[in-house]
Amino acid sequence: MKKKKIVILTGAGMSAESGIKTFRDSDGLWENYPVQQVASIEGYEENPRLVLDFYNARRKELLRTVPNHGHLKVAELENYYDVAVVTQNVDNLHERAGSSHVIHLHGELMKATSSRNPNDPACICDISPEHPEIRLGDKAADGSQLRPYIVWFGEAVPRFEDAIREAETADIFIIIGTSMQVYPAAGLIRYIRRGIPVYVIDPKVVPVSCASPVHTIAKGASEGMDELFKILLKE
């Protein structure tokens, strides 16, 4: 019997329980770093050392972090469903928890790429935990300075088409820890089939507009996933 397809859209709240700071909360990273300074091509061109150091610090933080219970429960869904995770997070906690099909919309912190052609597959490379820093003078395959493989503000989201294809085939759509205010990720819900169930896991009110029944679980990622499991396994 063919498994039902679940597509899960995750945001910063998914990893917050692991201790990774979100950008937009009151004590988040934007409080210390203006967004244009560390998350735009203009900021990078003006002060590449600052930007490299910022992401080097984020990478070292990630290496000290482990997946939380919510990540593990998302991975466990694969025992019962065909699961695709679409994440706005740049960490690798879904993969480390065991999820096998993860689409990163905003890039991956543990990868580096070309400053000249950031989406050229020939220039995208893994960063090893043993050597987690990108330094000035480190070169990509095309000879340009290596930069973080992060989608900065104003840049194209290269994997959004992949995410759309997954959303179009979903039998169940789950939203965890995202405000649904950041596009194009928030627009993914427009591509689901009319009438399929949508579950929103977040302690805050998340505005979701779609032609499907929306079930809200007003809890954090871990407690919310535990509750969702009880609902899904009753079906």
- Let me know if 106 is a catalytic residue: yes
Q: How confident is the model at residue 62 (pLDDT cuts 50, 70, 90)?
A: very high
| Residue 126 backbone dihedrals phi, psi, to 5 degrees | -80, 150
Rounded alpha-carbon distances, angstroms, from residue 64 to 20, 43, 70, 93, 128: 10, 27, 18, 11, 14
What's the average model confidence in pLDDT over 208-215?
A: 87
Do residue 161 and residue 184 come from a single domain? yes
CATH number, domain with residue 132? 3.30.1600.10
In this predicted structure, the answer to whether residue 27 has a pLDDT above a threshold of 50 is: no
| Residue located via tokens 């169930």 | 197
Q: How confident is the model at residue 154 (pLDDT cuts 50, 70, 90)?
A: confident
Q: Considering 150, 181, 207, which residue would you say is the last residue of a domain?
A: 150
Q: How many domains does the chain have?
A: 2
pLDDT tens-digit readout, 84-123: 999 999 999 999 999 999 999 999 999 999 999 999 999 9
| Residue located via tokens 């080097």 | 56
The catalytically annotated residue of 71, 94, 104, 106 is 106
| Domain extent at residue 25 | 21-64+109-150
Do residue 128 and residue 221 come from a single domain? no
Do residue 161 and residue 50 come from a single domain? no
Q: How confident is the model at residue 235 (pLDDT cuts 50, 70, 90)?
A: low
Residue 32 has a pLDDT of 65
Q: Considering 89, 119, 150, which residue would you say is the last residue of a domain?
A: 150
Do residue 54 and residue 91 come from a single domain? no
Compute the mean pLDDT over every residue in the chain, rounded to the nearest whole number: 92
Do residue 84 and residue 177 come from a single domain? yes
What are the strands, taking DSSP E only, across 134-226? 146-150, 172-176, 198-201, 214-217
- Give all strands of the β-sheet with 146-150 in edge-to-edge order: 125-126, 107-114, 146-150
CATH number, domain with residue 208? 3.40.50.1220
